[in-house]
Amino acid sequence: MTESKLGFGILRPEIFDIEDKPRSGRPIEVNCKQLKQIIDQDRKVSMLIIALELDACQKTIVNALKHRNLAYKFNRWVPHELTAEDKPKRKAACLALLRDQMKKKIQDRIVPYDENWVSTTIEAVKKGGQHLRDQQDRLQDEP
């Protein structure tokens, strides 16, 4: 019975506010305009430098960057969504991969009748890979 009285003693009847009181320390909010300016000036800036410039902890910076949909990839800050410039590049790369998958497999092109195919391949490589250039030209001509 005494434990429950002690537990309820924390909530005094005159205090009805359940929000946290403001405390001293580093701010838990970051000025988004300043954060955007810092990243726009240098996309390769580290999180530690951003935290020092804005006088905030790194976790606060991480949360603010997640809120702005930015990720640190390939040593630079990039948006999670593709830009208008990157969308055609991504589409072209995907179509090239699909086109490569639709080609016949190498096992279908090799005729294991005799050792003739080995010498033919070696001669083509010695000639400067003309067969590769022909194949590349055919791929470019396809729609």
Q: What is the pLDDT of residues 91-115, one digit of tens each?
A: 998 888 888 777 766 655 555 555 5
Q: Inter-axis angle of helices 32-41 and 47-54, to 10 degrees?
A: 140
The amino acid at residue 11 is L
Higher pLDDT, 9 or 30: 30
- Say which CATH number the domain at 48 has: 1.10.10
List the structure tokens of 73. Answer: 């990839």
40 lies in which domain range? Answer: 32-68
> What's the pLDDT score for residue 97?
83
Which pTM was predicted?
Answer: 0.42
| Residue 42 located in a structural domain | yes
| Residue 109 located in a structural domain | no
Nearest CA among 46, 117, 60 for reference residue 68: 60
> What's the pLDDT score for residue 130?
58
